[in-house]
Amino acid sequence: MSAPIVIAGAGVGGLTAALSLARAGKRALVLERAPKIEEVGAGFQIAPNAGRILAGLGLEEALAPVALEPQAINIRRGRDGAILARLGLSDSRARWGAPFRVYHRADLQQALLQAALAHDAIEVRVNSRVGDFDDGAGVVRLRVHTPEGVEEAEAIGLVGADGLRSAVRGHLLPTERDAPIYAGLTAWRALVPAELAPAPLRARESNLWMLPGAHVVHYPLRDGGVINVVVIVSEPPRQSEGSAILSLDGPELARSLDRLRPADELRALIEAGAAWRHWPLFARPSLQRWSRGAVTLLGDAAHPMVPFLAQGAAQAIEDAEALGRAFLQLGASVETAFASYEKRRIVRAAKVVHASRRQGAYFHLGGASALARDLAIRALGGRGMLARNAWLYRK
């Protein structure tokens, strides 16, 4: 049997890539450094551009029962909760070919993992950290770090789907001076039991609240019993935390935001979170290229982005689809398939990275600029605001 294509990382990007490669008739070996494949405690909005691809990979039956389809996104003024625009989502299937959905991360990850494990052409190994590698003459030799020691593996290609701090990226592009840099923004994340949230915020809708220098996004998950809340704050880097995960309780986080004068309902929602986890956000410069020979990058490893368009995982899924499709060209070698995958994806991914960054600045405006923004959003209305993202969602 010929060597497989190795995928470093079993995140959403790596697992979707394995499914997409298998559909194109390729064998995939997914190597994950963690001892267990799991995503804990947070939600994912999966926009139609990614939902269409997941359905096309045959995942609809597994995903539909664990998805929640919000009926609308409410854009709110943070200081009083006024709804500036209500973006109706109920016609998403007709407009974009797939619904807007939200998932508990663990549910999406499990659906992808089970689909991968069920496929004859895919093998998934945990406790396997991809280290350095050599490539040439049609073979990639890589060092894999396991609890038993370092093993050598051979592959016909290597896909670095190993996230923001990608080791594959570091070895592929050793001269790029592009270590992740703090984006000046911190996310605080918590899951709030719905019964503890103010009643008007329990609807099956997504909400975005804008405050000067901060914004909050929340939506219900699973059967609506829990609300995923993300608070994003512009702030300088914190010095003292080291590698420990910083956590605050609800009243502590709410107090730290009082200077922004959030609406009472919003404050109550934040207070109801028992344990808020701190998540500093990082950026890396866009790459001019992300493939060399039989090695390529995918997802956050190739193009990490701030999450303000909720497109990081969606773009990883788009990458995965394009990667598999590149092998459907008649007689494509790994090298030509990787080059054509990169060509198909690099411009769009960079555009989404930049648009995400701009979106964050827009949400965080203060003073007269915020007033002008709010008037513009009201004037555009829900349909106009959705139309602004047509380039992201369209078929």
Ligand X SMILES: Cc1cc2nc3c(=O)[nH]c(=O)nc-3n(C[C@H](O)[C@H](O)[C@H](O)COP(=O)(O)OP(=O)(O)OC[C@H]3O[C@@H](n4cnc5c(N)ncnc54)[C@H](O)[C@@H]3O)c2cc1C
Which sequence positions are flagged as catalytic? 219
* Residue 300 found at the interface with ligand X (CB under 6 A): yes
- Indicate which single residue of 5, 6, 13, 26 sits in contact with ligand X (rule: CB under 6 A): 13
One-letter amino acid of 141: R
The tokens for 214 are 């901060």
Smallest distance, ligand X to C-beta of residue 202, A: 19
Smallest distance, ligand X to C-beta of residue 209, A: 15
- Indicate which single residue of 313, 326, 339, 349 sits in contact with ligand X (rule: CB under 6 A): 313
Smallest distance, ligand X to C-beta of residue 91, A: 21
Q: How far is CA 372 from CA 18, 79, 377, 385, 393, in A?
A: 46, 15, 9, 15, 27
The footprint of ligand X on residues 234-273 (CB under 6 A) is none
* Residue 291 found at the interface with ligand X (CB under 6 A): no
C-beta of residue 18 within 8 angstroms of C-beta of residue 122: yes
* Whole-number Å distance between alpha carbons of 203 and 142: 49
The tokens for 159 are 């896909």
- Indicate which single residue of 307, 324, 360, 382 sits in contact with ligand X (rule: CB under 6 A): 307
C-beta of residue 260 within 8 angstroms of C-beta of residue 78: yes
* Whole-number Å distance between alpha carbons of 132 and 119: 28
Q: Angle at which helices 250-257 and 264-271 pack, to 10 degrees?
A: 150
DSSP state of 395: -
- Indicate which single residue of 4, 5, 6, 10 sits in contact with ligand X (rule: CB under 6 A): 10
By beta-carbon proximity to ligand X, the closer residue of 119 and 374 is 119
Q: Which run of H or E residues covers position 240? A: none
The footprint of ligand X on residues 129-168 (CB under 6 A) is 129-130, 161-163, 167
* Residue 279 found at the interface with ligand X (CB under 6 A): yes
* Residue 220 found at the interface with ligand X (CB under 6 A): no
**Segment contacting ligand X (CB under 6 A): 51-59, 115-123, 289-297, 310-318?**
310-318
Smallest distance, ligand X to C-beta of residue 164, A: 6
By beta-carbon proximity to ligand X, the closer residue of 89 and 374 is 89
φ, ψ of residue 191 in degrees (nearest 5): -105, 125
Smallest distance, ligand X to C-beta of residue 273, A: 14
* Whole-number Å distance between alpha carbons of 28 and 112: 14
The footprint of ligand X on residues 188-217 (CB under 6 A) is 189
The tokens for 392 are 């992201």
* Whole-number Å distance between alpha carbons of 16 and 103: 16
The footprint of ligand X on residues 26-65 (CB under 6 A) is 31-34, 44-45
Positions touching ligand X (CB under 6 A) are 8-14, 31-34, 44-45, 129-130, 161-163, 167, 187, 189, 230, 279, 281, 299-301, 307, 310-314, 316
